[in-house]
Structure 1
Amino acid sequence: MTLTPVQKKRLPLIVAAVVGLALIVGGVVWWQGKQRWEATDNAFVQADTTEVSPQIDGYVVEVLVADNQRVEAGQVLIRLDDADAKANLAQAEAQLSALQAGVQNVDARAEQEQAMIASRAAAVTQAQAQAELASQQVARYGQLAEKGWVSQQRIETERAGVRTAQASVAEAQAALVAEQRAAGVLGSTRNQSVASVEQARAAVDKARIALDRTVIRAPVSGVVGARGVRVGQYVRPGGTILSIVPLGDTYVVANFKETQMDRLRLGQTVEIKADAFKGEPLVGHIDSFAPATGSEFALIPIENATGNFTKITQRVPVRIRVDRREGAALRPGLSVEVKVDLKSDGTLSFAEAATGSMQTAEATTEVASR
């Protein structure tokens, strides 16, 4: 179709009008979206991964899980060689039995000692009776001697009998005291033996715990990852042998610019798009704000106190709670894009959340001081 000269003159105006209208419409759409959403593509899926480590050293005799296998809390993962642990437990139990027998022996000796104390006490009573009788005899013979009916020799004999009886009383009392002191020594010996028994019982418990630790169980439910243990391998305490990732409890950490934080609120709805999954976006909610920017947690913090300082917009990590049903598909480490719905209901802002945390800390300190 051939354009007339008039149409040719109007064509640039029409094109300019269309472009201008498109710019206006695009600007309106952009402005409305900017008022409705705060977005960032600097976001990643994370999970509270649990690293499993042995608590004792030993050789691995059995590995009961495979890579990427689902496990439940308490499920047996690995078995270590338990020969030494069983031997140590048997030795500790034998030592405990021997010390318990020692306590029973002390108890038997204590019962025998009580019988000896009773016998010595009876001997003291008998000696005192004999001494009292001898004293009465001396008194009677003394009255007879005054009337001349008893010789002086008989009086001396009776007096010697009194001294002998008194010596017997002293001897019996000394024997009683000796037996009582022996009983006290047995009491101290028993206390020492009982303490040794408790120490041996603790050794048995320790050996039993060591035997139980030859079986390594899953501390949490999740999926096995980074399994670096094999049968025959020698493992040591503290060394990571595998990890368990709780896929049902994944969350997103989105790094928002500090200029975006003013309009964010706790509890606001978040749309999450993962590159690994196509289709409808996942839904989550803002769970918490980090106490500092991401650079503060870096291994080498940025030092801006220099003469050539250039202001760089910092980013604040925001934790986003993903709906449990939808978050099961996410894997830690995936990159995602998040959009916060600013029109959705929220509670505390970034500044208010920090103030609330400070007030809570101050209240806790005040209660503790009281």
Structure 2
Amino acid sequence: MTSPTAEELGADENASAAEAKPSPLKRKGVRLVILGVVIVALVLGASWFANYWMVGRYVQGTEDAYVQADAVVVAPKVAGYVEQVFVADNQAVSAGDPLFSIDPRDYRSQVAQAQAQIDMANASAKGLQAQIAEQHAAVDGAIAQLASAESDLRFAKTIRDRYEALAASGAESRETFAEKRSQFERAEAAVAARKANLASAQRRVATLEAQVGQAKAQAEGGVAQRAAADVDLGSTVVRASIAGRIGNKTVQPGQFVQPGTRAMSIVPVQQLYITANFKETQLGLMRVGQPVSIEVDALEGVELKGKVESIAPGTGAQFSLLPPENATGNFTKIVQRVPVRIAVEAGPETRALLVPGMSVHVSVDTRSAKGSIEKIAKEQKALEQAKK
């Protein structure tokens, strides 16, 4: 028999040493560490599951959310050359602050023209009123002349009647009676003429009074024109309708502007809100007033608070310029998104850092509506049973 080699002897020694070395799992400390890790993992897993079951599954979040503001577009009401610009880009303004002015000379002349028309109409009315006073005197004179003519008529009638009786008895000649009768007829004609003069004088008064009314109407029209001209003159100074910051300013001194042309925008930075576009599958438990957690990309590590202010009455696609028409061609179902308006609860310092268009991540806690889906289902079942 051959004796074992050195290599074989070394391998046998190593095998014996390996068999003699105990397994690490048999060590008590290792087993305790592994047991601790398993327990911690189970506790963390149970904690996560409990948190998810109690809170997490009711939290709806989206990255499709942006800071918004109801900006006001500033446009002039009247046309003209810009005389002066009082604000600069990004400047903060208050409601009523002047933004820019337009050359007011044309509009001042319109105000003066309207005032001249008013003065002319008032002067015409005063002149007509003086004529009416004169005409009243003429009416009084016509009345007096008529009274005198009627008195002459009565006297002429008395004389005619007397001479008619005398002529019939033969005491007076027929020629004398004819003369007296002619005098009576002339008196009658004079009375008719005086009555016509009185009626003409009275109609003249009515005509003058109508002309006074026309002059007053012209004066009122001038007042209306002056009021419109005053409005246009006041519109030559364009003022801020709300408080905010100036943005997108395009107006410059010397520029000719037209009514309705965009000159700048005012962004109400103190009235910012967030528009979050949630999937339709996330809205089942979402209600107005629910709390919201807000993470702004520009403010890393800062969590803002807010609440659901309102939910849009339709999906974003329905309010687009060309809404989809799913009744034509092949149909592929696409999950729609519904805009949700979220009010931001933040102080002035935080709001000063927020500007419209910033991206945010929002998470809505919908636990307040927990169980509403089940209530809806029960209600539908009750309706179905009532129909049966």
Band of TM-score, shorter chain: 0.7 to 0.9
Distance 1:151 1:303, change over 3 A: closer
Cα offset for 1:24? 6.1
Match of 1:227 among 241, 249, 255: 249
Residues 285 and 321 in structure 1, CA contact (< 8 A), matched pair in contact too: yes
Equivalence for 2:258: 236
Equivalence for 2:146: 124
SS at structure 2 position matched to 1:297: coil
RMSD between superposed Cα atoms in Å: 3.1
SS at structure 2 position matched to 1:276: coil
Distance 1:165 1:23, change over 3 A: same
* Letter matched to residue 363 of structure 2: K
* Letter matched to residue 176 of structure 1: L
List aligned pairs for 1:100-249, cutoff 5 A. Answer: 100-145=122-167, 149-249=171-271
Equivalence for 1:39: 61
Larger Rg: 2
How many angstroms apart in 1 are the aligned matches of 2:66 and 2:204?
77
Residues 305 and 346 in structure 2, CA contact (< 8 A), matched pair in contact too: no
Match of 1:328 among 336, 351, 354: 351
How many angstroms apart in 1 are the aligned matches of 2:214 and 2:346?
59
Q: TM-score, normalised by structure 1?
A: 0.84
Determine if the alignment matches structure 1 residue 337 to structure 2 residue 355.
no
Distance 1:184 1:168, change over 3 A: same
* Letter matched to residue 155 of structure 1: F
* Letter matched to residue 337 of structure 1: H
Cα offset for 1:64? 0.6
* Letter matched to residue 251 of structure 1: Y
Residues 100 and 239 in structure 2, CA contact (< 8 A), matched pair in contact too: yes
How many angstroms apart in 2 are the aligned matches of 1:32 and 1:116?
103
Equivalence for 2:10: none
Equivalence for 2:383: none
How many angstroms apart in 1 are the aligned matches of 2:73 and 2:339?
24
Equivalence for 1:75: 97
How many angstroms apart in 1 are the aligned matches of 2:80 and 2:22?
94
Distance 1:182 1:282, change over 3 A: same
Equivalence for 1:91: 113
How many angstroms apart in 2 are the aligned matches of 1:153 and 1:50?
103
Cα offset for 1:99? 1.5
* Letter matched to residue 139 of structure 1: D
How many angstroms apart in 1 are the aligned matches of 2:175 and 2:324?
118
Residues 62 and 79 in structure 1, CA contact (< 8 A), matched pair in contact too: yes
Match of 1:300 among 290, 299, 322: 322
Cα offset for 1:125? 1.3
Cα-to-partner distance string for 1:59-104 (whole Å, 9 max, x where unaligned):
1111111111111111111111011111121122112211211111
How many angstroms apart in 1 are the aligned matches of 2:207 and 2:48?
100
* Letter matched to residue 216 of structure 2: V
Q: Percent identity?
A: 38
Match of 1:258 among 257, 275, 280: 280
* Letter matched to residue 171 of structure 1: A
Residues 58 and 81 in structure 1, CA contact (< 8 A), matched pair in contact too: yes
150-159 or 224-233: bigger deviation: 150-159
327-336 or 255-264: bigger deviation: 327-336
Number of matched pairs: 348
- Unaligned stretches of 5+ residues in structure 2: 1-17, 377-388
Determine if the alignment matches structure 1 residue 268 to structure 2 residue 290.
yes
* Letter matched to residue 328 of structure 1: R
Distance 1:134 1:192, change over 3 A: same
